[in-house]
Structure 1
């Protein structure tokens, strides 16, 4: 592992921003991240506020890799990207899809707290009506029990789902659901997300036969190189996704997608389109359903425009200090 930059170097390179969202996503209308201007390029430390320091320290490791080591060599320079539809009312689906350019694949949030299966069905139906030829996938973020997931996915299967992402919370639940779906002849593949990135052992899901494919995110897994190793060891197809990043964070996701030996599915790296602000002038958003690999740099005027308040900046700097301590060998 390369030598860590000093804490003073990280603090000197830090900028904290609060980026407004076009629609509520993951329960937030403003996305805070800490950006680092490193010698190898701009990097993003954006672990969600509720994550503890041990988990957040992996996000800092990914940022240090991006800003002080750089990314591994790519094997492709164009990445297919899906559109993302949050848990909005069905009537709002056309407006959300209008933020994405020529999407051939759409990921739809389902199992939102306070909503019903009827809401999910209506939302998926609206996407299918708007884009009858698109590949459609759903993401429950572990919001269903196994019986609820069986009912929901049996119902949603009529929309020809590509796969269902993290329909239930646990690895054991995923394995049980996968067996039940196969036995019942329900043709929906199961993808694991949280069961990979939030587990102490990210390979446990593969050993348990709990998924047909895995979702990988560079930041939560500790960086591009560690994520590549996890995919290789898991032996399952992988989809690269974002964690509601600015264009700086999306650049790391593109680096991961570009370096994977195989990339059979469109990636979930188009979430900057859900934001009403960014730190890059030429944002990393999809055109014709994909993105070309390129470097980005934060713009000083945008950093100033979206700078977080002093108390939030201090909160992030204190968090950086704590997570840096976890990074020490």
Structure 2
């Protein structure tokens, strides 16, 4: 099947982040065409080769073997609220039409006014989750999480970044707010996942595709939420994989953290196919949208050194599949 994938013709692109979205980095990667459709290979530059190989497995899955059949045609989405001021945060939430917000925090005083503004925009029935941008030890997290919960008028959960299983083990019994953990980044080291968290965050790229993530969810003893990796804004081609996972899960108890497309200044698909939430929902499709030639040309990388770097990364990842 790999022989049918157009690796040699993969285009390198980069899409900048919108002004004010300092929580995110530009989306850079390669567009790969398979016999049945397209994928986006966009592993973070700092990830190791084995992690990049999982991202590649995810990128080629939809265009080769395809995704599992969905059990729903759309999923509720959470709007992403980056580290912006309270007025901008309220506008982002109101314009999104979503009833759930993923609010980025970093342990700064302005986090509280941002959360208060989001609560004001959502109203009492809306759900707010905090996405922590930096690693906190158990003591720091235990001190800050109740303060964040109070400012938000109640949190659905807090997603911690770069926190070890040992720190989570110490923290879990000390807070009343549910803890969510990206299972691709934290290994329980012999512990049950329920010993260190209350919600499992499934990220398709780092886990190696929709099927691998679905198998994890089937074995998990925790409720799952589908999301883009923290701080990562993906193209609509990349986001389609997360939506395929959310569409195939038997139970989707939380809005999916896939409303990240607005963080980018553009997309590689035509404007009508950009995966931006409408009335709080995103569609589940049998395959990713195809790239638009004009948009790909707009965001194409023309630096020979960067193109060579990505081709080397692709070659190494292919060898590890």
* Match in the other structure for 1:152: 144
1:302 lines up with 2:302 in the alignment: no
* Match in the other structure for 1:82: 78
Shift of 1:317: 1.1
* TM-score w.r.t. length of structure 1: 0.88
Distance 1:274 1:324, change over 3 A: same
Shift of 1:57: 0.9
Q: Report 1:68-107 matches (<5 A).
A: 68-97=64-93, 100=96, 102-107=97-102
How many matched pairs?
Answer: 309
Distance 1:131 1:215, change over 3 A: same
1:109 lines up with 2:111 in the alignment: no
Summarize deviations over 1:207-260 as a string: whole Å, max 9, x none: 461111110011110010000111111221111012421000011111000011
Aligned equivalent of 1:233, options 214, 219, 234: 219
* RMSD (Å) for aligned C-alpha atoms: 2.0
* Match in the other structure for 1:285: 276
Aligned equivalent of 2:160, options 161, 166, 173: 166
CA distance in 2, matches of 1:165, 1:303: 33
Shift of 1:179: 0.7
* TM-score w.r.t. length of structure 2: 0.90
CA distance in 2, matches of 1:198, 1:215: 10
Matched residue SS, 1:215:
strand
CA distance in 1, matches of 2:52, 2:30: 12
CA distance in 2, matches of 1:204, 1:11: 38
Give the unaligned 5+ runs of structure 1. none
* Match in the other structure for 1:274: 263
Does structure 2 conserve the Cα–Cα contact (< 8 Å) formed by 1:166 and 1:191?
Answer: yes
Q: Report 1:1-329 matches (<5 A).
A: 3=1, 5-6=2-3, 9-22=5-18, 23-28=20-25, 30-97=26-93, 100=96, 102-111=97-106, 116-132=107-123, 133-158=125-150, 159-166=153-160, 169-181=163-175, 186=176, 188-193=177-182, 196-199=183-186, 201=187, 206-207=192-193, 209-243=195-229, 244-281=233-270, 282-294=273-285, 295=287, 296-310=289-303, 311-327=305-321
Give the unaligned 5+ runs of structure 2. none
Shift of 1:142: 4.7
Summarize deviations over 1:53-100 as a string: whole Å, max 9, x none: 111110011112122111111111110000011112334313433552
Distance 1:118 1:59, change over 3 A: same
Does structure 2 conserve the Cα–Cα contact (< 8 Å) formed by 1:81 and 1:270?
Answer: yes
Does structure 1 conserve the Cα–Cα contact (< 8 Å) formed by 2:94 and 2:121?
Answer: no
Matched residue SS, 1:24:
coil
Distance 1:242 1:318, change over 3 A: same
Does structure 1 conserve the Cα–Cα contact (< 8 Å) formed by 2:7 and 2:33?
Answer: no
* Deviating more after overlay: 43-52 vs 87-96: 87-96
Distance 1:269 1:141, change over 3 A: same
Shift of 1:292: 1.7
Q: Please list every run of at least 4 consecutive aligned residues from structure 1 whose deviation after the TM superposition is greater than 3 angstroms.
A: 201-208
CA distance in 2, matches of 1:36, 1:177: 41
* Deviating more after overlay: 12-21 vs 249-258: 12-21
Shift of 1:27: 4.6
